[in-house]
Chains A and B, each alone.
Chain A
Amino acid sequence: GENVEQHPSTLSVQEGDSAVIKCTYSDSASNYFPWYKQELGKRPQLIIDIRSNVGEKKDQRIAVTLNKTAKHFSLHITETQPEDSAVYFCAACFSGGYNKLIFGAGTRLAVHP
């Protein structure tokens, strides 16, 4: 079935440390993998996405890696800052022709000063 598993559910780091969030997906035909950040009481917003024709993408302190064979993708945040504290969602676009984004359960990241 359509499933995206995300770990860990909570993550607590010290400012300046790195944070890694991992996701696995079930549909081997999925080819679009966005990551969304949701601050408390706010809307989810895209922070980075990756398509299946690349294995890694980087945007300043944020990077995403994709292993299509293992059906696994990860978000890496380096030099974390308190404003990185939020809930992060991975998602996979499942095949079938339409943008059926299936989200992971979310990771609550807390960055302590």
Chain B
Amino acid sequence: SQTIHQWPATLVQPVGSPLSLECTVEGTSNPNLYWYRQAAGRGLQLLFYSVGIGQISSEVPQNLSASRPQDRQFILSSKKLLLSDSGFYLCAWSAEGARAAFFGQGTRLTVV
């Protein structure tokens, strides 16, 4: 069966520090991968999505970047965190043909 792993679950980082959040998927190949941010309140903002290795689409200009070095690995990064980067970050994957989409448990990032 397919599983998605996202870590860490919680992270507290100082302003100006770098960030790296990792997401991996098991049990499937060539998934579509997504990074979302959920700020205060409940809305989900699509940050990046990827349909293949090295293929990244950015939805909003911001302080973050994403990379997909392997088929089932999706990394969210920042060189220098801002206070406004605080939030709940969620990774998701969907199968080819779009018949399902599943989320990791999320990373709660607090920038202090």
Are A and B physically bound partners? Answer: no
Mark B residues whose CB is within 8 Å of A. none
> What is the interface of chain A, defined by CB distance below 8 A to chain B?
none
